[in-house]
A and B are shown apart, each in its own frame.
Chain A
Amino acid sequence: MANVIITLGNDISTDDIYPGRFMATVLPTETPQFAFFDRTDFNAALKAKAFPPGAVIVGGENFGCGSSREQACSTLKGYDLAVVARSISRIFLQNSINLGLQVVICPGIEASVGDKLEITADQVLNRTTGQAFDQVKLPAARKGIMDAGGLIPYTRARLMARG
């Protein structure tokens, strides 16, 4: 069970999540400070560690559209946040899986800030409103990467298997 900490509209771009002017910062240990930088209050709350791990960002359609910058995922992963969105842009989805950021595609999701969500295997339950929403399964091709804990351990295992 986790709290919704912000609800966002459609087409939230990677420029919104991680503005381009901070792209010279690349290391996952350093990117979290710039998460949603231009949403000043939210950025400040994140940096003040106001939210526990697993706290949920609820997005609309086409979440993470735009640039392939992986910082947009590592910046959220740094706070151990989860993303539940109506739909997710391809590269952002792939980057999230690769880095182990929890992302859930949930076309019908309805939630407000403060609602308690429970993410099950195939649904998102809004325990505050009592509503249940079906998930869209992530691409099957990605299962091996998720099971390995991300693309780095996955590729490492492939390398070792090659010998």
Chain B
Amino acid sequence: MGMTVVEKILARAADRPSVTVGDVVEPKVDLAMSHENAALVINQFQEVFQGTGQAPTVWDPSRIAIIFDHRVPAESPKTATNHKKIRGFVAANGITKFHDVRGDVGGICHQILPEYGYVRPGFVVVGTDSHTTSHGALGAFSFGVGATEMASAWALGIAVNIEVPATIKVVVKGEFPPMVGPKDLILHLIGLLTAQGANFKVLEFHGETIRQMSTSGRIAICNMSVEAGATSGIVPGDAETVRYLREEAGVTDAIDCVTPDADASYVRTVEIDVSALAPQIACPHMVDNVKPIEQVLGIPVQQIVIGSCTNGRLDDLAAAAAILRGKKVAEGTRMLVFPASSKIFAQALDQGYIHDFMRAGAVVMNSGCGPCLGVHEGALGDNEVALSTTNRNFKGRMGNPTGEVYLCSPVVAAASAITGVITDPRKG
């Protein structure tokens, strides 16, 4: 019987001719990514070695990536001290894929990994962040783990006791209408599947719409696959994957795209036609509470957020800037923009997008996770409403349990910034 992409990747990483759903494997890890929570990973890692008589040594420093993004620059002495502890560990262990608080190579982990060519098709990637699913956009099997599981990977170089997950095949066809795109597709899909519809499963994306989609869009849909509970989202590597890695990430060595067998077995197939899709909005307080924009028009919004690992790439900023150019953010509404990486920030500066945002009245912040998870900046006031291009809207997510967060695409956020209420960008 044929194998899905993830089955093929796991078979190869576990040195087995084939695997099937439910098999227990221990795949070699190609890349292990952490951010600020490396502080906890280090703690657990050192505990693993206690009493072994062995010095705490990572299995392969070249396969570990650490990117500061959740709280940059540090908002508190506690975070600054965590940063300092991690820097010390990075230096002592010779970890080279390290991105500190910097305006040249800094950024959000899920942008930095693709941008620097750290992820390749066929890789097994683990990350101490649930949105590690993002890297399935490059044809890798990439999933989130906790800090202790990462400590185990740092020590052993494998992911221990992984059950081969079942795969849901998602086939997407049709051309996006104007002002509708990958974010609307993934919100729509999450609404269909529900927040746990893909729990313990992989979403494997196919169809003409996916083949024609840029890597940026693919990152957005794989990023949010976890919001349907998926272990990972994955787009089998193709010509666009190779183009992105060669042209944008500067990769020069061999790229081996893994594709599923024609007779691979799927637990379910979902077909979506995007040609009549409306802009989609995830309403408080669950990501699967998805409605077409018509049902939420006119809701007043105090904070607009454009950015994040989901929608902070250059094409996202370009689309938002085009709407805001020459316009003003509404009185009573504040708008925050945070590009996904310093490189994107610089490109947006060169293209004039940053000026467009600033002249419109938006505040452009350094690259990082920013307000998305309410830990750093851009918190909501009591009972305030945010409209955001980020990926979660759980109660309390943006730092205030009385706040409400609606999720949308960059063009919906930009159009709504001008009016101060949720606004359909197709009627601008």
Contacts and interface: CB of A to CB of B under 8 A. Distances in A.
A binds B: yes
Interface of A: 11, 13, 15-16, 19-21, 23-27, 38, 61-62, 65-71, 73, 87, 89-91, 94-95, 98-99, 139-142, 144-145, 150-152, 154-156, 158-160
A14 to B, nearest CB: 8
Contact of A23 (B70, B127, B152, B155): B70
Contacts of A70: 37, 40, 146-148
Q: Pick the most buried of A61, A68, A151, A160: most chain B CB atoms within 10 A of its CB.
A: A68
A11 B286 contact: yes
Contacts of A25: 78
9 contacts: A13-B394, A15-B394, A16-B394, A67-B129, A91-B144, A139-B163, A145-B160, A151-B149, A154-B160
Contacts of A142: 161
Interface residues of B, number: 56
Given A61-B196, A65-B229, A98-B146, A20 B373 contact: yes
Given A91-B144, A141-B24, A158-B156, A38 B149 contact: no
Contacts of B50: 156
A15 B395 contact: yes
B308 to A, nearest CB: 13
Nearest to B42: A26
A13 B200 CA distance: 17
Given A62-B195, A89-B229, A155-B155, A26 B149 contact: no
Contacts of B231: 90
Dominant SS at the A interface? helix
Nearest to B392: A66
Interface of B: 24, 36-37, 39-40, 43-44, 47-52, 54, 70-71, 76, 78-79, 82, 127-130, 132, 144-149, 151-152, 155-156, 160-163, 195-196, 199-200, 229, 231, 286, 373-375, 392, 394-397, 399, 401
A23 B376 CA distance: 10
B148 A99 contact: yes
Contacts of A91: 130, 144-146
A27 to B, nearest CB: 6
Contacts of A68: 127-130, 132, 144-146
Given A24-B76, A65-B196, A144-B161, A95 B374 contact: no
B234 to A, nearest CB: 16
A151 B154 CA distance: 13
B395 A21 contact: no
Contacts of A16: 394-396
Given A69-B37, A139-B163, 7 more contacts: A15-B397, A26-B40, A65-B196, A91-B144, A98-B146, A158-B160, A159-B52
Contacts of B392: 13, 15, 66
A141 B148 contact: no
A3 B66 CA distance: 42
A124 B50 CA distance: 37
A152 B44 contact: yes
A161 B126 CA distance: 24
A95 B156 CA distance: 18
Contacts of A154: 152, 160
Given A152-B44, A155-B151, A155-B160, A73 B146 contact: yes
A119 B231 CA distance: 28
Given A68-B144, A73-B146, A24 B196 contact: no
A71 B76 CA distance: 19
Contacts of A65: 195-196, 229
A106 B428 CA distance: 50
Contact of B40 (A27, A38, A62): A27
Nearest to B229: A89
List of 3 A-B pairs having minimum Cβ-Cβ separation, nearest first: A95-B146, A26-B40, A20-B373
Contact of B155 (A73, A90, A94, A159): A159
A160 B140 CA distance: 31
A145 B146 CA distance: 14
A38 B147 CA distance: 24
A90 B156 CA distance: 22
B79 A24 contact: yes
A17 to B, nearest CB: 10
B394 A159 contact: no
A24 to B, nearest CB: 5
B219 to A, nearest CB: 18
Contact of B48 (A69, A95, A99, A159): A159
A24 B369 CA distance: 14
Contacts of B399: 20-21
A151 B394 CA distance: 29
A24 B200 contact: no
Contacts of B162: 141
A19 B392 CA distance: 13
B62 to A, nearest CB: 20
Nearest to A20: B373
A111 B394 CA distance: 25
A66 B151 CA distance: 21
